[in-house]
A and B are shown apart, each in its own frame.
Chain A
Amino acid sequence: MYNTREEEKIHIDWITVIIYILLVAFGALNIYSANSTPEHSSLFDFKTEYGKQFIWIGIAAIIVFFILLTDANFFQFSAYGIYGIILLLLLALLATGSFTAGAQAWFKIGAFKLQPSEFAKYATALALAKFLGTFDIKFIGKKNIMICFGIFILPMALTLLQNDTGSALVFACFFLVLFREGLSGWWLVLGLYLAAIFVFTILFPSLYLVGFILIICGIVAYFFKSHKQILYMCAIIFVASSVFIFSVDFMFSKLLQPHQQQRILVTLNQDVSEYYKHKATEFSLFKIDTKKKDEKKSKRDYSYNVRQSKISIGAGRWTGNGFNNGTQTKAKLVPEQHTDFIFCTVGEEYGFLGSALFVLTYLFFIGRLYFLAERQKTVFSRVYGYSCASIIFFHFFVNVGMALGLLPVIGIPLPFMSYGGSSLFSFSMLLFTFLKLDANRVHEINRM
């Protein structure tokens, strides 16, 4: 028979576990650095945030222990149940939010704040894996495809309704999972294409862009005169792109909230106040609603976070200032440095060498997860593994990209590193559930 504890411990992927421990420990160090003051430097002061983080780490260890004790089949068995509970929690949040006339993303239980959206990713990964892992179901056919999309778009929408745009965006990483399971790569290409057009529309006058696409399509069409299909393609691409371009202004000004518009503009190095004037006088089909922008704040205010983040990282030079010695870090110049901007501490205190090593280690860690996912024998484990890797990957990409000023400010944590109980618990559960499944792989083989 299968499943004795000794055997599992042997089969768990120790490389991943070691990196996990390193990341959590390194995260705690950086939180200490970002939060301790000369007056409050005691390591186990539980009023401080680094003190609390030690408690979270302790609790996470207990959670991990229980996950490893759990029967591997439990996850597949209870996937829909967990998914359902999380959806109910998200709905309940919305309901309380409407009572208190303001969106909120967490439940308060005593001194703890529980953020269901963090666990929603975990639940969604389980549910998607369960669905695709069901016997006789594949990522083929309209109905199945719609169900797959539905599984992650539902919690995404609920999170979005809570005004937690960052966490909602994370659900987009399930496209990567579906890509693995058979979604055409063209959809991803289309996504990138639209993103590129979105950026260019903000940077350049719309008509120039339309003209540019027309010329490209025209050239392609000229060389493939005889291929009717390509001619049709060109026409469709041109028309669709043009419609998209002219709707970007509209989407940008009407659908996004002012602070989101500003963050995007800041990332693209556009002067916010200039942008509105320039767009309003331009030959856009839709006039920007200038009243919507927040008049009081200038570009400086919006770019403050990113500017300080870049200065902190830049201050590190080759080897950094050393642990607990970053002047920017100690001066608390970067807002949210212990949560979303924890990477600044790494940059300032460990320099280029330290940060580069950190980035490489993290990417190796994610790569290892993808590798583990691919070697799974059951569809459930594989889909879950890909989900796990992709969620962590998306968080890492957006979080570090934002700290480096490459992406707009989107407030999502760096897994295992950022301060916060909910995020540490959910990522630990996500990871160790997968490691448990991976360890169990051997028995799956035996069963076959």
Chain B
Amino acid sequence: MERNHKLYIFQITLGVIGLIFIVRLFFLQIVDTSNYFKALSYGSNEVTIYPDRGTIVDRFGKLLVYNDAVYDLMAVPEKVKNFDKVRLCKVLQIDTFDFNQRILKAGRYNKKVASIIYKSLPINIYSQLQEILYDYPPFFIETKIDRRYNIKGAAHVLGYMGELTEKQLKAEKYYKPGDIKGMSGLEKGYETYLRGWKGRKLVLVDKFSKQQGSLAGGKFDSVPTTGQNIISSLDLDLQEFGEKLLANKIGSIVAIEPQTGEVLAMVNSPNYDPNLLVGQTRSKNFGALLMDPRKPLFNRAIKAGYPPGSTFKTIQALIGLQEGVLHPETRYYCSRGFHLGSLTVGCHAHGSPLNLENSIAQSCNAYYCNVYRSILDNPKYESVQDAYIQWSKYLNSFGIGVKTGIDIPEESTGILKKPAYFEKEFGKNWRSANVISMSIGQGQIGLTPLQMCNLSATIANKGYWITPHVVKAIGDNKWLPEEFKVKHKTMVESRYFDSVIVGMARVCKPGGTAGRQGIEGIEICAKTGTAQNPHGEDHSIFIAFAPKDTPKIAIAVVVENGGFGNTYAAPIANLLIERYLALDRVVPTKRPDMLEKMLKANLVGAAIYNLLKVDSTLLKPIIPLKAQ
């Protein structure tokens, strides 16, 4: 039966093919689950659960920064079709054209991933939307957090949050479009601690995109990790008082607790209200702040290098003592200044010759010209260059010319030139006389207010400093990075500090340069500085610490165009010290005259006038900003 034999071949072939197909089906549908999960991911919406960002409190537990929920309308662009657009647009209070643009824009980023269609829904729209959203299954609301501030100041320390640029989004996969991230200050420096970790929830949707509850019983969901709270080292009371004192002036204040390196206050003026940079008004206000000629976004305390003026004499003396070219009883004559050939560095009228202690108390320029020359022309070194390099190393050991390492990003090193710079300027055989202005903190030297304050703290500690930091503790177990516990020893031995401290203690006493700015009952060690600058009136500078024997606070104040060190900087510093040391903070100041004068003073007008002279393009009306 040849014929039937062929029928069998046909039927066996059918059987074999049936077997192959069924095995393949079994493989695709039962064995290989990846297809199933791919389909599941299409059949579900991934809702990101944003963790609470860590709050920030001051050193006494006063709340500075907290969170508020904001609601974004989200949708997966490719699922948005066939719905009553007009009604939705009416609720959202936008026109359909605008709405289509939003969908298109979201689709350009990624058609398959949920994107923000309407950011930070105003609360009235949000509540209306809640009622009708059931009819718009592809749309859902994602709850995010935004920062809220209890205070109007300290903006530079706390920093602001901002949306990531497209470039940043590519580099940092954790964030997605519309997320905010710390962009400056503490928020940036401690971003990873504060932000926590996002969770996610997969919500099963049916064929109409309607939510059907959790996918696979929540098997693929993850719970968000709440961000860690941060205790800042700031003293809010001191900070706000500093801001009040520095209002209508341009300048900066930094206060540090010398033993711990904790920053008690960091004031910049002008500053801005941190509430300006939240929510929907963020980008508009940011642009306006950026264009403001007074530069309110600029963190002078860590970024601006000022010539330290006479406050620099303290460290010159210390280096001289350590190098052995200076003795506490060394005396130099001063005839209204320092004269060397045609070179003259002027000085004010005072008794002469002075010893080291009095040279600080009375701030003799000639004295320090001599000291600096003796350091640079020390026969111990082969050349001025070598001596200068050694001198630079001393400065570095005080955190000058290098970053102090504070936990706020974008700190500046200040200005400290390398010998090569002077070679270029004055030729290969430059001499100490070429750089003599640096002996009194003028010329090619610049310190940030933070570095000045750190210098003051180092003197208070008699030879060591701890990296300044604005964070006192992180998280529930009050943890602090080890780097903020290390004592940095300076190259000057502790025994050399005494005579300098004695000199500084005389500054705020009758006969000292800030003799009239002292406060009764507090032994303040200080040094005034008056920094000349090419942009008008001198900068008023003051560094101080108190009390003398058990220093609790070190402070540096810079008031731009404030004139002499004792005009503005000294009273402000001393008032702050007085307030800080009076622990209950209610004791009325012993110098109400000084307080009133400081609160009334207004130096901004003159400063702006100077600025406008330099750059007339800044001549624009300053738009008053509104917080949300």
Contact = CB atoms under 8 A, between A and B. Distances in A.
A327 B39 contact: yes
B20 interface: yes
B208 A38 contact: yes
A411 interface: no
B7 A371 contact: yes
B14 A400 contact: no
Interface in A256-304: none
B480 interface: no
| B contacts with A: majority SS | helix
A268 B176 CA distance: 37
Contacts of B32: 314
Contact of A327 (B3, B7, B25, B42): B42
Contacts of B11: 367, 370-371
A359 B22 contact: yes
B7 A39 contact: no
B42 A333 contact: yes
B14 A367 contact: yes
Nearest to A404: B24
Contact of B14 (A318, A327, A363, A405): A363
A147 interface: no
A393 B14 contact: yes
Contacts of B38: 311, 314-315
A360 B3 CA distance: 25
A351 interface: yes
A347 interface: yes
Nearest to B82: A39
Contact of A370 (B10, B22, B26, B30): B10
B11 to A, nearest CB: 5
B17 A397 contact: yes
B43 interface: yes
Nearest to A329: B207
Given A401-B21, A406-B24, A315 B7 contact: no
Interface string B24-52: 11101110111110111011000000000
B346 interface: no
A374 interface: yes
Interface residues of B, number: 35
Residue of B9, B10, B206 contacting most chain A CB atoms (<10 Å)? B10
A95 interface: no
Contact of B6 (A179, A313, A405): A179
Interface string A393-408: 1000100110011100
A359 B30 contact: no
A78 interface: no
| A contacts with B: majority SS | helix
A356 interface: yes
Interface residues of A, number: 46
A316 interface: yes
Contact of B25 (A326, A359, A371): A359
Contacts of A393: 14
A318 B42 CA distance: 19
A314 B82 contact: no
Contacts of A389: 10
B39 A311 contact: yes
Contact of A317 (B17, B36, B43): B36
A445 B581 CA distance: 124
A385 B17 CA distance: 20
A247 interface: no
Contacts of B24: 404, 406
Interface in A306-350: 310-318, 324-328, 330-331, 333, 347-348
A371 B28 CA distance: 32
A366 interface: yes
Contact of A331 (B18, B26, B207): B207
A140 to B, nearest CB: 14
A37 B4 contact: no
Interface in B568-626: none
A401 B25 CA distance: 10
Contacts of A54: none
A180 B14 CA distance: 15
Contacts of B14: 363, 366-367, 370, 393
Contacts of B82: 37-39
Contact of A313 (B33, B35, B43): B35
A352 interface: yes
Interface string A161-203: 0000000000000001001100001000000000000000000
A355 interface: yes
A374 to B, nearest CB: 5
A318 B30 contact: yes
B39 A314 contact: yes
Nearest to A355: B25
Interface string B70-84: 000000000100100
Contacts of B20: 406
Residue of A179, A315, A393, A400 contacting most chain B CB atoms (<10 Å)? A315
A359 B4 CA distance: 25
Contacts of A366: 14
B35 to A, nearest CB: 2
Nearest to B15: A363
19 contacts: A180-B6, A312-B39, A313-B28, A313-B35, A314-B33, A314-B35, A315-B43, A327-B206, A331-B42, A352-B29, A355-B25, A355-B29, A359-B25, A360-B18, A374-B3, A374-B4, A389-B10, A393-B14, A397-B17
Given A37-B82, A317-B29, A318-B29, 15 more contacts: A313-B29, A313-B35, A315-B43, A318-B30, A327-B207, A328-B42, A347-B25, A347-B29, A348-B39, A363-B17, A366-B14, A370-B14, A404-B21, A404-B24, A404-B25
